[in-house]
Amino acid sequence: MTIEHSGVTAIIGRPNVGKSTLLNAMLGQKVAIVSPKPQTTRNQVTGIYTEDDAQIIFLDTPGWHQPKTKLGNYMIKSVTTALADVDVVLLVIEPKEKPGQAEEALLAKLNPKVPVVLVINKIDLFADKSVLMSVISAWSKLRDFAAVYPISAKKNDGVDSLRKELIGRMPKGPQYYPSDMITSEPERVVVSEIIREKMLLFLSAEIPHGTAVSVERMHTEEGRHVLEVEATIYCEKESHSGIIIGKGGSMLKKIGTAARKDIEHLLGCHIGLHLWVKVKENWRNREGVLRTLGYD
């Protein structure tokens, strides 16, 4: 197989529209964490799809929102950074969404020469598909889109057609990554995100948004076939620490058990996962802490 076409596709949109779910569907494997809560994605996540003579490098970005913390500022900056040099942009929306000032500001940052594909996600939630025409009409007033694709990333409906569209738009270029590589993210980053995903799934409302995970060490002890992973969960309040740990450590165990299964599936080996919880007050607004945690 000789790669003749390759390029970069950025996935952008508001929080919780299904950008990471779409990335996972495009790759046929999970590399980006997902949850029902908005602002799940904090970092730009790189996914790699290779087929026949083409390779697509996907950049999954945090949801476009009005930041209220320095962490939020970092997330918005990572979106604009992702748009700096791309070949195609996927603007992901929901059928119920109406275009507003946020989208106008986001589209204004795009190179007018870069094709933008409008992706209307979550169509499985709407029985009446006729509403799509009014949605397309409303959004088309913002920009002349290169193509429009109604899909359901969760149900994998329409994803194959969208992928073919992207492959057809890839310029001539070399193969940047090995054919069996699906992400360029370091293992420690992916592992920390999996742990954070489980907190988003199991903990209530605001608590997970005030947490971060740092993988301190990954090592295999001599004579054993178990990869030991040591990670610290940071939260902003002592009261949150107690909730994350749970009565008798029950919640921390629940988070760890679910995370370990996903990590073992990802890395293909047995995992010993060791979690600790520490308090760092107001860490989302402390630049030094943000840098230490990889948000720089």
* Domain containing residue 240: 187-292
According to the model, what pLDDT value does residue 83 have? 86
Q: How many separate domains does the chain show?
A: 2
Specify if 196 maps to a domain.
Answer: yes
According to the model, what pLDDT value does residue 132 have? 85
Average pLDDT of adjacent 10-residue blocks, the chain of 296 residues? 90 92 94 83 91 94 86 88 90 86 83 93 82 88 93 96 96 94 91 94 82 94 88 94 95 97 92 96 92 84
**CATH number where 193 lies:** 3.30.300.20
The verdict on 93 and 192 lying in the same domain is no
The verdict on 192 and 159 lying in the same domain is no
Distances from the Cα of 82 to the Cα of 39, 46, 273, angstroms: 17, 10, 32
Specify if 180 maps to a domain.
Answer: no
Question: CA–CA separation, 144 vs 161, rounded Å?
Answer: 20
The verdict on 241 and 282 lying in the same domain is yes
The verdict on 164 and 216 lying in the same domain is no
The verdict on 25 and 109 lying in the same domain is yes
Specify if 142 maps to a domain.
Answer: yes
The verdict on 130 and 237 lying in the same domain is no
The verdict on 126 and 199 lying in the same domain is no
Final residue of a structural domain among 118, 136, 169:
169
According to the model, what pLDDT value does residue 294 have? 85
The verdict on 154 and 223 lying in the same domain is no
3-state secondary structure of 72: helix
3-state secondary structure of 251: helix
The verdict on 148 and 244 lying in the same domain is no
According to the model, what pLDDT value does residue 284 have? 93
Final residue of a structural domain among 107, 136, 169:
169
The verdict on 217 and 105 lying in the same domain is no
Final residue of a structural domain among 138, 169, 200:
169
The H-or-E segment that residue 147 falls in is: strand 147-150
According to the model, what pLDDT value does residue 58 have? 96
The model scores a pTM over 0.75: yes
3-state secondary structure of 155: coil
Question: CA–CA separation, 160 vs 41, rounded Å?
Answer: 24
The verdict on 79 and 139 lying in the same domain is yes
**CATH number where 150 lies:** 3.40.50.300
- Contact present, 222 and 246 (Cβ < 8 Å): no
The verdict on 163 and 191 lying in the same domain is no
